Structure 1
């Protein structure tokens, strides 16, 4: 496999200070949320990476994976793709509310804008169709001459991947309605053809003309004979399945929106992993009792048993499943989980969960020595204390985008603040360092504070007494967001994750989330290292 992981802020040759050793605990992720997939005219399988702002092309015979449109291009979060007869590729860019055309020579142009959460896309004999991933969404034909779109159907309960069938009708799903519908290309009343598929996310036709429907929830691929009612169900093993594409030999390739990766279902019944699943972040990191690491991974959480090996997805947090899982902390036997939509969950599988709502973009969390749970409210410019009954109260205000919290060896709470690139002690407002580029992850260890400056891909060591700072590691692939994508790029029901480069203590070592490549780095030998002095702190 030829992998080209996307570059992020500070990505480059990894450097560590003398005596500091670096080890990757989790390898880089090759696909950030593999959503729309389609075979191109060159025979390669094109893959839209929603979280990676990338279109890749996979040679299914050799395993070579090439970046066709990278995160330095115009895409915000591509969700689905389709090819026209002339070789043009159409891409729906969901948060940006755009539909793009990429000509065979690489020229990019916008063919539609202002569509709410454009998701499913289909081409047929020079015509282009798009639907909306929205409640009461629309199915539209896009006027390639620049006129307004034609509304073909309304009332979609989240549209998604669709295709014109052998009968000349356009088949499309209601993702949350459990239904599959069809409509004539030139008008007419839409007709419901199925109403009992769990979360149908993609409607396709195999090379023999058979109707295939993919379930997002369980990854089942249904083959349905509409005349006889007979069905055949294949298990793909993909949780959060998003799309399916068929090779000429009938092999079905299934993508996964939540975990990335790609699997192939051969006509003889075999299932194989083509590209392994990986991490979407990781974002927040929490060290658990016993040495396990818990990772916030946008769509869910993952556990790294013993702090090494392959991440295991956490089913016991399924009830908290919501896009935007971000910060993690421990509070006794409980876990504290912050999410981008303003909720903070606290609990455990045995004690249950309580939820605090109404925060403006909560980030990192920390438990103080006296048992208080504090959360950095990035959008609100505050640090708040949870009261345990779903409420909270401010303990510090007027901060310019606080991101993460830690407690130093003296018991003082410190916060990383994006504005001014600062690390601040809350007790007296003392600035411990300034001038960092997007300081985010913050942790105390070995008598010092350690801060990840996500905008420059560096880990800093800060002495809280002398305020001296030094670089301990650089070249960290920390910035998950392409430069042109705004922090709050969102539309409809989907969004890209906002950055949060976390660092956590694991015994005598530190672990750093490398969100621009989907990996986790362990740094050891820190106790004896003072790093390299830098002008970046004062």
Structure 2
């Protein structure tokens, strides 16, 4: 090969290398992880049965949680102070009649704009199972709607526009509707997609985009049920699958994107609008059987009940990128 050809070849190689180098930053620059900076913000007392089951947020960052096994509703201030607001009466049989779980438990909780808290209590007894209310400064919780004792009310959502509370029943495979003021519940949906396969079916519940979204723990699915103009339930559509042990979930504020708590694997998954999902939090972040997720702005709240690990029920905070 002549010197001229060698020089040309060398020049071409240098130009090719330079072009490749110029492309590297664009190809290698990865987007930030969806969820980062996870830290345990609060450790709860497992000996006092402080197993957080669900969470609701106030505008100032205050979190309200239900301690399932303690039968309590508690307030967690932004500085981390935990204050028990209500302790519910224990059923006469101690709760052994509670379906599937055999212990009484406080479950879903929501907060109205005026600070009123609504939550669910499952005891297996007709005198206590149902929807409860705790008004600000009221000092006492009261039951405003009875739900079937043979069921297990679990997830709770509030549509303040229509003054309607919705509750999932994980044993009866039902979504109940109840007036916000209290009264007789109505079986809003008993679609087969809500049923369990032996343990717990319909669980987490959110109102989003003119529909009720429901997670089915046994089936690992997220369902969307439109709310029709007359308030009735529309046709159920399965929007995500493969989420084994999904307990609760929360929308991130980006369309239909949501974060789902996967109880059994101690993970949180980011579920995209098309149904695909990616694990974004794990036991390495402090999760121990997470039961609920909430999002406010760029902050993610995850509570873990440690039902299986039996070690560290806690509240983990993380950043949503």
Q: Same fold (TM over 0.5)?
A: yes
Relative to structure 1, is the Cα distance of residues 8 and 318 closer, same or farther in structure 2, using a 3 angstrom cutoff? closer
Aligned to 1:385: 224
Which residue is equivalent to 2:168? 338
Counterpart of 2:212 (choices 370, 373, 379) is 373
Moved more, 345-354 or 447-456: 345-354
**Structure 1 segment 47-126 matched on structure 2, within 5 A:** 49=94, 51=95, 77=96
Residue number in structure 2 paired with 1:416: 261
Distance 1:9 1:318 in 2: 24
> Which residue matches 1:297?
121
Q: TM (normalized to structure 2)?
A: 0.59
> Larger strand proportion, structure 1 or 2?
1
Call closer, same or farther: CA 1:375–1:429 in 2, change over 3 Å. same
Q: Which runs of 5+ in 1 are unaligned?
A: 36-48, 52-76, 80-93, 97-256, 258-279, 466-538
**Cα deviation 1:20-79 (Å, max 9, x = unaligned):** 22222114x5x63122xxxxxxxxxxxxx1x2xxxxxxxxxxxxxxxxxxxxxxxxx389
Are residues 288 and 95 of structure 1, via their aligned partners in 2, closer, same or farther at CA, if it must alter by over 3 Å? closer
TM value normalised by structure 1:
0.36
Q: Does the Cα contact within 8 Å between 2:210 and 2:226 map onto a contact in 1?
A: no
Shift of 1:292: 0.8
Q: Deviations over 1:333-354 (max 9, x none)?
A: 2211001221112352699845
Match of 1:288 in 2: 112
Structure 2: distance between partners of 1:394 and 1:416:
18
C-alpha change, 1:291 and 1:21, in structure 2 (3 Å) is same
* 1:131-150 deviations in Å (ceiling 9; x for gaps): xxxxxxxxxxxxxxxxxxxx
Question: Against the structure 1 CA distance between its residues 323 and 415, is the aligned structure 2 distance closer, same or farther, given a 3 Å change threshold?
Answer: same
Cα separation, 2, equivalents of 1:339 and 1:399: 19
Inter-CA distance 393–282: structure 2 relative to 1 (3 Å threshold): same
- C-alpha deviations, 1:87-134, integer Å up to 9, x for none? xxxxxxx989xxxxxxxxxxxxxxxxxxxxxxxxxxxxxxxxxxxxxx
Contact 2:131 2:147 in 1 (8 A): no
Distance in 1, matches of 2:295 and 2:78, equals 20
In the superposition, relative to structure 1, how do residues 319 and 460 fare at CA in structure 2: closer, same or farther (>3 Å)?
Answer: closer
Query: Which of 29, 32, 39 is the matching residue for 2:90?
Result: 32
Equivalent in the alignment of 1:441: 292
Contact 1:382/1:402 (8 A) holds in 2? yes
1:362–1:377 CA contact under 8 A, matched in 2: yes
CA distance in 2, matches of 1:285, 1:442: 12
* In structure 1, C-alpha distance between the alignment counterparts of 2:251 and 2:292, rounded to whole Å: 13
Measure, in 2, the Cα distance between the counterparts of 1:288 and 1:301: 14
CA distance in 2, matches of 1:287, 1:387: 22
1:313 corresponds to which of 131, 143, 159: 143
Residue 367 (structure 1) shift: 1.4
Match of 1:164 in 2: none
- Given that 1:293 and 1:307 are in contact with CA atoms closer than 8 Å, whether structure 2 keeps it comes out as no
Q: Distance in 2 between matches of 1:7 and 1:318?
A: 25
Q: CA deviation at 1:452?
A: 0.7
Would the alpha carbon gap of residues 9 and 335 (structure 1) be closer, same or farther in structure 2, given more than 3 Å must change? closer
Alignment partner of 1:380: what SS?
coil
1:448 Cα deviation after fit:
1.0
User: 1:421: how far off?
Assistant: 1.3
Q: Distance in 1 between matches of 2:179 and 2:78?
A: 40
Mark the CA change 1:366 to 1:95 in structure 2 (over 3 Å): closer, same or farther. Answer: closer
2:155 aligned with 1:327: yes
Q: Does the C-alpha gap of structure 1 residues 308 and 398 become closer, same or farther in structure 2, counting only changes over 3 Å?
A: farther
Change in Cα spacing, 1:414 to 1:463, as seen in structure 2 (3 Å) is same
Query: Residues 154 and 203 of structure 2 are in contact (CA less than 8 Å); yes or no, is this contact kept in structure 1?
Result: yes
Which residue of 2 is the match for residue 431 of structure 1?
279
Residues 376 and 32 from structure 1, CA distance in 2 versus in 1: closer, same or farther, beyond 3 angstroms?
same
**2-structure distance, mates of 1:78, 1:6:** 22
Q: Is the partner of 2:146 in helix, strand or coil?
A: helix
Secondary structure of the corresponding residue to residue 136 of structure 2: helix
Shift of 1:375: 0.6
Separation in 2 of the partners of 1:399 and 1:326? 18
Match of 1:400 in 2: 244
